[in-house]
Amino acid sequence: MSAIARPPTGAALTATLGAADGLWSDLIHAVEDAVAPLDTEWRPSKTEFGRMCLLRHKKRTLLYLTPEKEQIRVAIVLGEHACRVAMASALPAAIKKLLSEARPYAEGRGIRFSVRDPGDIPTVRALVEIKTTLKPRAC
């Protein structure tokens, strides 16, 4: 099991995010509006910031958020059924391209992309909604 990291101070988070500082709380609130209750858990990371934030709902990890300079790096894993729904949705072409190029694993297809402005937040919320409204099927 991975080690849990101490949450960063608000000052450290703000210093790293810079102009994207407001996006951090806006992004978390948007996901929380879609899926509540939402828990955050910090884990060590090999990134420059040294840790990443997992957004979890009922012990299920929905998103991985990594603070970066002037942006937030988002990672999400979609199962094959959720991936097909995402491909048929109105998601941006760039996200669909990432999904189509992602290598399939047992847990699904993982993609990473950057959130740089408020216009990117609805895409993250849509991905979370697709991931959480579909029930995983037993084999």
pLDDT at residue 139 greater than cutoff 60: no
pLDDT score of 2: 57
Q: Where are the domains of the chain?
A: 10-133
Q: What is the pTM of this model?
A: 0.89
User: Strands, DSSP E only, in the chain?
Assistant: 39-44, 51-57, 60-68, 71-78, 104-105, 108-115
Residue 48: its pLDDT value, please?
Answer: 83
pLDDT at residue 136 in the model: 52
What is the C-alpha separation between 89 and 83, in angstroms, rounded? 10
pLDDT in the model for residue 5? 72
Q: Is the pLDDT of residue 111 over 90?
A: yes
pLDDT in tens, 34-45: 998 999 999 988
CA distance 68 to 34: 24
The CATH classification of domain 10-133, taken from the options 1.20.950, 3.30.420, 3.90.1150, 3.40.720 = 3.90.1150
* Predicted confidence (pLDDT) at residue 20 exceeds the cutoff of 50: yes
